[in-house]
Amino acid sequence: MNIQSLKIEKGAETGDSTAAQVERDLREAIIRLELKPGARLSEQEIADSLGVSRQPVREALIALAKSKLVEVRPKRGTVVVKISAREMMEARFVREAIETAVVRRACETFDPWVRASITGILARQQAARETQDYNRFRREDEQFHMAIANGAGCGMAWSVIADIKAHIDRVCNLQLRKPDSMGRLIEEHEAIVHAIDARSSDAAVEAMQSHLNGILADLLRIEAENLTLFE
């Protein structure tokens, strides 16, 4: 088990409880595949590494179990759940339903300050592509979709997506390693933004659907190349 990357900043003014911070860091490690699907997790080992008690670790693992990222097995320990293609496709279906509705709203009204920030997000994605920084690219991808929701005045929609997208993100992390995958994703983001700028709701919906469906085209290849990570 690799937990060296997990860090809890004591006294940080994040507003999060210790359990929420532990959950956030474990979730990120699972998404980044630093905690591999099938890995066993030890409450005590995590607590010792982070310098916290076992209680917030236990609470974090329960929360992650509700998100179906770990499985708590009574008297047998806790393991990182293997990637489920079925659950990933269900999550993508829900995400598409929400995000296509969001871009329709974005074509009606969009905050100009948020629109200006998206230019910076796309520039940072390009920089991540040039350095092949997969994790930075994925973080900026998340910022892009969050900005679309916030700019359209649908911030609550993003909070719904954020809880289910981890199932997609683990596959996305594998997809990003495909040559020029990041370049294609940037082009898809630009197409979404251009449609919103043009106030073309049909084009925006089509661009978002194409963007979210892209991972399905790669799913069989990704699973075949990473059989041990899938259930």
CATH numbers and ranges of domains, the chain: 18-80 (1.10.10.10), 85-229 (1.20.120.530)
Q: What pLDDT does residue 75 have?
A: 72
Q: Which parts of the chain sit beneath pLDDT 70? A: 1-16
Q: What pLDDT does residue 101 have?
A: 97
Using alpha carbons only, give the angle 40, 5, 229 rounded to the nearest 5 degrees.
40
Strand order in the sheet with 40-41: 40-41, 77-80, 70-73
Instruction: For residues 179 and 209, give the distance between their C-alpha atoms in angstroms, rounded to a whole number.
Output: 22
**3-class secondary structure, 85:** helix
pTM of the model: 0.87
Q: What pLDDT does residue 8 have?
A: 53
- Render pLDDT for 22-61 as a digit per residue (tens, 0 to 9): 999 999 999 999 999 999 999 999 999 888 999 999 999 9
Q: What is the secondary structure of 104-142 as a DSSP string?
A: HHHHH---HHHHHHHHHHHHHHHHHHHHT-HHHHHHHHH
Local structure of residue 154 (DSSP, 8 states): -
